[in-house]
Structure 1
Amino acid sequence: MLDTSTENSFILVVDDTLTNLEIISEALTEAGFEVATAIDGKKALQKIQHRLPDLILLDVMMPVMDGFETCKHLKTHPETHDIPVIFMTAITDTDSKVEALSLGAVDYITKPFHKAEVLARISTHLQLRNLTKNLETRVVERTSELNRVLQDLQEYQLQLIQQEKMSVLGQLVAGLAHEINNPVSCIYGNLGHALSYFESMSHLIDLYQNYYPHPVTEIQNEISEMDLEYVRSDLPNLIFSMKEGIQRIRDMSRSLRIFSRSDTENKIQFDIHEGIDSTILILKHRLKGSENRADIEIKKHYGEVPLINCFPGQLNQVFMNILANAIDALDESFTSNQSSVINSEIIGIPQVLIQTMLSEDTNNVLIKIKDNGIGMLDEVQQKIFDNLFTTKPVGKGTGLGLSIARQIIVQKHEGKLEVNSAMGKGSEFIITIPID
C-alpha cells in the first residue's frame, strides 16, 4: 500500500527500452505517482531543467549517455544533488552495483521487474527523502530560533549592563553634584557680600584719607608696604575671578545632574542641546592637548530643533559613548607614529564637529558627530556595533559602548544609529530620533 506522504510524487523514468518505460510508467501511474519518461541520459537532463523530480529510476545501459554518466552529472549539481536515484539494471555483477552506489545512487533494481518490489523501494526512498527534508527544515528553524534566543539574551545582558552602569553612575554623580553644590552655593553667595563689604571699607578709607590726609609715620609706612592703592584696585578683580571660577563649578555640577538624571518608565520632553553640552563639559579634561596633539576643537552647529520625547539619561550615555570614541580616535590619529599615514585632507588641528537639524520630513531630529581622525576600514565599520567588538588594546575598551548606544537608539527610541567613515577622512556617526 502506498504511503499517503508519497502520493502525487513526481518520478522520472529513464530507459532506452520502450517496453520497460510502458510497464513501469503504468505501474507507477496506477499507484498514484506522476510520471515522466526519457529514453537516454541527455534527454533526462533536459527534462530536469524544466521540473525537478522527487525520484529518478535510471537505466544503466543506454546510448548517448549511460546511467553512470547521468548519475555523475546529477550529483555534481547542487539543485539535483539530493534527488534519490535508483538504478535499473540487468547486470548482476557486484562491481556494477558497487559503482552504482558509489556514484550516489540510493538503491538498485534488477531486471526483470517485480511490481511490488519496485513500488516498495520507491515508496521507502521517497519517505526517507521527505523525512530528510523535514529534518533539514526543522534544523534550520531550530538554528534560527536558537540564534534569535541568543541575540535576545545578548541584548538583555546589554540592557542589564547599561541599567546597572547608569544606576551606579547616576547615584555617584548625583551625590557628587549635590556635595559640590552646597559649598559652591555658599561661596558664590558670600562672594557678593564680600564685594559689598570691600566697597564699604574702601569708601571708609576714602573718607579717612579725605579728613586725615597726613597720618602718622607708622601708618604711612604700612600703606606704602602693602601698596594700598594696588590692593584696592585689584581686589574687585580677584573677587570677580573667583566668582567666574565658582560659576564654572556650578555649571559643571549642573551638567553632572543633567547627564546623570534618572529615567522614568515613560519618555519625557528633553532639550538634546542641553544633553550634548553637559556631556562635552564632562569630557572637557580630555579635550586638552598633549605632547602628541593639540587641543581638540569642538565645533557646534545647532539647528532649530524642538524638544523630543526620549529617555534623557540614556540619550546622554549615547552622546558620551560616541564623543569619547571620537576623542580616542583623534588621540590615535594625531600621535607621532600615525602622522605619516594620515591623509592630507585631515587638517593639523584635531576637531569634532557636532550638527543638529530636522530631517527633510521634519518628523525626526538628526544629530551628526564627525571627527577628522584617520577613519575606519570597511571591515571595522561592519562590526563597529557588534557586542564585545573593539579595536582598542586590552584594558582600554570593553566593546560594549557602541553596542549599547545602538540598542538605546534603535530599541528604546525607535531611531537609527549609522556610521560613515573612510580611511584618511575621519568618521561620522549619525543619530536619527523621532520627535514624537
Structure 2
Amino acid sequence: MITKPLLKTTYVLLVDDNPNNLKVLSEAIQRCGWKALMATDGESAIRQTEYAHPDLILLDVMMPGLDGFETCRRLKANPLTYNTPVIFMTALCDPTDKVKGLEIGAVDYITKPFQHEEVIARLKLHLKISNLTRTLEQRVQERTAELTQSLQQLKQTQLQLIQSEKMSTLGQLVAGIGHEINNPIGFISGNCYHIEEYVKDILRLVNLQQQKLPHLDPEIEELLEEIDLEYLIEDLPKILLSMHQGIDRLKDISLSLRTFARSDISSKVEFQIHEGMDSTLMLLKHRLKNQGNRPTIEVVRQYGTLPSIICYPGQMNQVFMNIIANAIDAFDDLHQNHLDQEIAVCYPHTITITTSVDNEERNVAICIEDNAIGMPPDVQARIFEPSFTTKVVGKGTGLGLAISYQIVVDKHNGEINCFSTFGKGTKFIITLPNSRN
C-alpha cells in the first residue's frame, strides 16, 4: 500500500472592513481548496498573523484605524511575516498610491470592483511564486551548508597535507643532520682520548727534563717565559674537559633532534611524553637564554609519574614546540611593545610545564603555562583558526596552533584548551587518552 504525502493546507488572510467583500472572497477561496482567515481591521489582522501564519494576505487599503499602508509596514517589519506576500485591494486609481504600496512591500494590486477569476488567478500566481521562492531559499541554504562543510573539509585536508609534508621534510632533514653530526662527533670523541694521552706524555717529558736538567739554555728559558709553561700545564686539562663537555652537548642535540622528529607518521607507537618535552626544550634552549633586553626565561618542570602512551611522537613534539615557541614569542613581544619596561624586566619570566594522570579516566594531562602578556578575549576565541595570526608578516603563518589542534583532537582523540588573561599570561591544557589500542 502506497501512502500519499499529506498536502500542506494553504491559508489566505482576508483583511477588509466590508463584510460582503469578506464573504464573497471567502467563498471563492474555499472553492479553490484553500482556508480563509478573516479580519476587519489592521490591528486584528496583525494579531492573527502571529499565530495563524498565513501563506498570503489580501489587504484592503482604506480601513478605519490602521489603514492598509500602515498595516503592511508593520507586517514587513516583523520577521515572522516579512516574507509573506501582501496584495492590496483598493478602489483608488491614483498611480502614486500604487507605487507607494509596492515600495512598502506589497507584491500586487487588485482594483475594486474585482473579478473573481482575476483575484483567484493572481492569488495562484503569487502563491506559486512564494512557494518557489521558499523552495529556492531552502535549496540555497542546503547548498550553502554543503559548501561550508566542503570548505571546512578542504581546510582540514590542507592542514593535514601541510603537517604531513612538514614532518616528512623535518624527518629527512634531521636524519641528514644527525648523520652529519654523528660522524665528526665520533671522530673528535675518539681522538680526544689520544690527545689526552699525548698531552700527559709531553707533560711528563717536560717535568722529567726540568728535574734532570735544572740549568737550561738561556734561549729555552726565554721561550718558557714567553709561552708561560706553568699556565699552559694548568690550562690544558681544562681545555680538554671543555672539549668533552662540547662533545656531550653535541650528542644531546643529536639525540634531541632524533627524538623530536620521529619518522613514525604512518602508525602510532609507544612513547614517553617527558622524553618528547625534554627534547623540545633542548632544541629551544637558545631562545630561552638572555636576549639582551629580555631576561632568561626559566622553565619549571613539574613532572608527574606518567605511563607511556600510544601516539604519534613526532606530531606530539610538534604540538609542544608550537605552544612553547608561542610562549617565548609572547615574552619577546612583551619587551618589544610593552610600555612599562621596568615591570617587564623586573618580574621573573617563567614557563611552567606540569604533567599528571587522571586517576579515574587514566587520561594524561599536559599543562604549559606562561606568565607573559596574555591574550584579549577576541584573539583567544580565534587562536585555533587556520591562518589566524597576530604576528607581523614573515613571523608567523597562523598554522601552528591550528595544526596542533588537529593533531591532538583529530589524530589522538584528545582535547586542547586555552585559558588566557590579558596582562597575566596564558595556559594550554592538553588531555590525551591513555589508550593502548
TM-score range, shorter chain: 0.7 to 0.9
What is the CA-CA distance between 1:87 and the residue it aligns to? 1.7
Structure 1 residues 31, 11: closer, same or farther in 2, change over 3 A? same
Deviates more, 1:91-100 or 1:47-56: 91-100
**Aligned residue runs from structure 1 range 18-33, under 5 A:** 18-33=19-34
Structure 1 residues 218, 120: closer, same or farther in 2, change over 3 A? same
Query: Cα deviation per residue 1:108-131 (whole Å; 9 max; x = unaligned)?
Result: 223344333222211111111111
Deviates more, 1:271-280 or 1:190-199: 190-199
One-letter code of the match for 1:340? D
Alignment correspondent of 2:364:
365
Structure 1 residues 198, 128: closer, same or farther in 2, change over 3 A? same
Number of residue pairs aligned between Structure 1 and Structure 2: 428
Alignment correspondent of 1:351:
350
Counting aligned pairs with the same residue, the percent is 51
Query: Cα deviation per residue 1:120-167 (whole Å; 9 max; x = unaligned)?
Result: 211111111111111111222222222222222222222222222222
Query: Cα deviation per residue 1:181-239 (whole Å; 9 max; x = unaligned)?
Result: 12323433554566678789999999x79xx97556459x88x9799898777665554
**Aligned residue runs from structure 1 range 194-209, under 5 A:** none
Distance 1:45 1:83 in 2: 12
CA contact (8 A) 2:265 2:314 kept: no
Is 1:393 the counterpart of 2:403 in the alignment? no
Residue 340 of structure 2 aligns to a residue whose secondary structure is: helix
Structure 1 residues 347, 386: closer, same or farther in 2, change over 3 A? farther
Alignment correspondent of 2:402:
403
CA contact (8 A) 2:15 2:58 kept: yes
One-letter code of the match for 1:173? V
Residue 432 of structure 2 aligns to a residue whose secondary structure is: strand
Alignment correspondent of 2:38:
37
RMSD: 3.2
CA contact (8 A) 1:346 1:424 kept: no
Residue 118 of structure 1 aligns to a residue whose secondary structure is: helix
Alignment correspondent of 1:375:
374
Alignment correspondent of 2:15:
14
Alignment correspondent of 1:414:
413
Distance 2:100 2:231 in 1: 112
Alignment correspondent of 1:128:
129
**Aligned residue runs from structure 1 range 34-433, under 5 A:** 34-191=35-192, 217-218=215-216, 238-335=239-336, 338-340=338-340, 348-359=347-358, 361-433=360-432
Distance 2:149 2:374 in 1: 32
Residue 293 of structure 2 aligns to a residue whose secondary structure is: coil
CA contact (8 A) 1:298 1:352 kept: yes
Structure 1 residues 284, 169: closer, same or farther in 2, change over 3 A? same
CA contact (8 A) 1:385 1:402 kept: yes
CA contact (8 A) 1:14 1:41 kept: yes
One-letter code of the match for 1:351? T
Deviates more, 1:40-49 or 1:411-420: 411-420
Structure 1 residues 175, 345: closer, same or farther in 2, change over 3 A? closer
Structure 1 residues 232, 341: closer, same or farther in 2, change over 3 A? closer
Distance 1:96 1:348 in 2: 75
What is the CA-CA distance between 1:423 and the residue it aligns to? 1.8
TM-score (norm 1): 0.87
Alignment correspondent of 1:435:
434
CA contact (8 A) 1:6 1:126 kept: no
TM-score (norm 2): 0.87
What is the CA-CA distance between 1:329 and the residue it aligns to? 0.9
CA contact (8 A) 1:173 1:256 kept: yes
CA contact (8 A) 1:6 1:127 kept: no
CA contact (8 A) 1:298 1:354 kept: yes
What is the CA-CA distance between 1:92 and the residue it aligns to? 3.7
Distance 2:431 2:345 in 1: 26
One-letter code of the match for 1:401? G
Deviates more, 1:147-156 or 1:366-375: 147-156
Distance 1:20 1:361 in 2: 75
CA contact (8 A) 2:338 2:344 kept: no
Distance 1:372 1:346 in 2: 13
Query: Cα deviation per residue 1:43-81 (whole Å; 9 max; x = unaligned)?
Result: 111111222111111122222322222112111222211
CA contact (8 A) 1:301 1:354 kept: yes
What is the CA-CA distance between 1:359 and the residue it aligns to? 3.7
CA contact (8 A) 2:335 2:344 kept: no
Distance 1:389 1:333 in 2: 20
What is the CA-CA distance between 1:309 and the residue it aligns to? 1.8
What is the CA-CA distance between 1:38 and the residue it aligns to? 1.2
Residue 334 of structure 1 aligns to a residue whose secondary structure is: helix
CA contact (8 A) 1:293 1:350 kept: no
One-letter code of the match for 1:102? E
Query: Cα deviation per residue 1:332-391 (whole Å; 9 max; x = unaligned)?
Result: 2134x525179x699622221111122464342221111211111222212222222222
Structure 1 residues 145, 241: closer, same or farther in 2, change over 3 A? same
Distance 2:360 2:52 in 1: 49
Structure 1 residues 95, 128: closer, same or farther in 2, change over 3 A? same
